[in-house]
Amino acid sequence: MKKSKKHKKSNTWKIKQHRDQFFKKSKTLGYRSRAAFKLIELNNKFRFIKKNTNLLDIGSYPGGWSQVSSKIITSGKVLSVDLQKIDEIEKVSFLQCDFLEEKSKEKITNFFGTRLDVILSDMAADTTGNKSLDCIRTNQLCAEVIEFSSKCLKPNGILVSKLFMGEDFLQVKELARSKFKKVQFFKPEASRNESKETYVHCAILNTL
Ligand SMILES: C[S@@+](CC[C@H](N)C(=O)[O-])C[C@H]1O[C@@H](n2cnc3c(N)ncnc32)[C@H](O)[C@@H]1O
């Protein structure tokens, strides 16, 4: 019997995943996702997670970034947010919600009760099969996080967010530049070469 296109595609994904060094490493070290290594690389480069950081991790499922953050943070609060429920992580609070809803943003700000040190977003919109549309939808999530961060971060706070090098990349970059003094881009080695994914690191709010 002929295998369906979808079946073949998911098998290719599984084979790629098993050959992948970061996937293997995540299993060995007990991380829930290979994405954990992207945050490790980002933090090695920019050094934004400290022992006393109050940190928000948006789009956190299955929890790799929250695991990495909670290993470093000893006296700050960590809030992890996703549409999907994650399994518990010690020292990490979790909110299952749609970040785009106003009531979610209210719950987040109430949880911290003060401006935050670090906001991370690895949010990605569900894929539609149309790569250009997928880029736009994920970059829209990044734009939402930039707007939110400009209101909720401490003046010297840091935002790190996923975005795609798609057709609206420059618009999102301009938005980031309008809110932050320092805007840099970095693609970790753990981010697949064939992916248009990159990360923006934003520092020092323009209000300073
Ligand atoms: C690439 S995964 C995150 C991986 C995670 N950083 C890790 O280390 O395991 C992207 C996540 O973004 C979440 N997401 C997408 N849109 C969202 C939204 N509007 N609100 C909350 N989470 C969202 C998805 O549910 C998905 O779990």
| Active-site residue flag, 3 | no
Range with lowest mean pLDDT among 17-21, 67-71, 163-167, 180-184: 17-21
Supply the pTM of this predicted model. 0.92
Residue 40 pLDDT > 90: yes
Q: Does residue 33 line the site of ligand 1, with CB under 6 A?
A: yes
Class of domain 33-205: alpha beta
Q: Which helix (H) or strand (E) holds 81?
A: strand 78-82
- List the catalytic residue out of 38, 77, 105, 162: 162
Atom of ligand 1 nearest to the CA of 32: 9
User: Is the peptide bond between 188 and the residue preceding it cis, with omega within 30 degrees of 0?
Assistant: no
Nearest to 92 by CA among 116, 122, 117, 72: 72
Q: Look at residue 176 and tell me whether its pLDDT is greater than 50.
A: yes
Q: Which atom of ligand 1 is nearest to the CA of 65?
A: 8
99 close to ligand 1 (CB < 6 Angstrom): yes
The pLDDT confidence band at residue 5, using thresholds 50, 70 and 90, is: low
6-40 b/e (C-beta count within 10 Å ≥ 16 → b): eeeeeeeeeeeeeeeebbeebeeeebbbbbbbbbb
- Alpha carbon distance 141, 193 (integer Å): 22
What per-residue confidence (pLDDT) applies to 180? 98
Return the residue whose CA atom lies nearest to atom 8 of ligand 1: 64
Q: Tell me how far the alpha carbon of residue 208 lies from the centroid of ligand 1, in angstroms.
A: 31
Taking only the tens place, the pLDDT of each residue in 114-133 is: 999 999 999 999 999 898 99
Q: Is 32 in the pocket of ligand 1 (CB under 6 A)?
A: yes
Question: Above 50 in pLDDT, residue 44?
Answer: yes
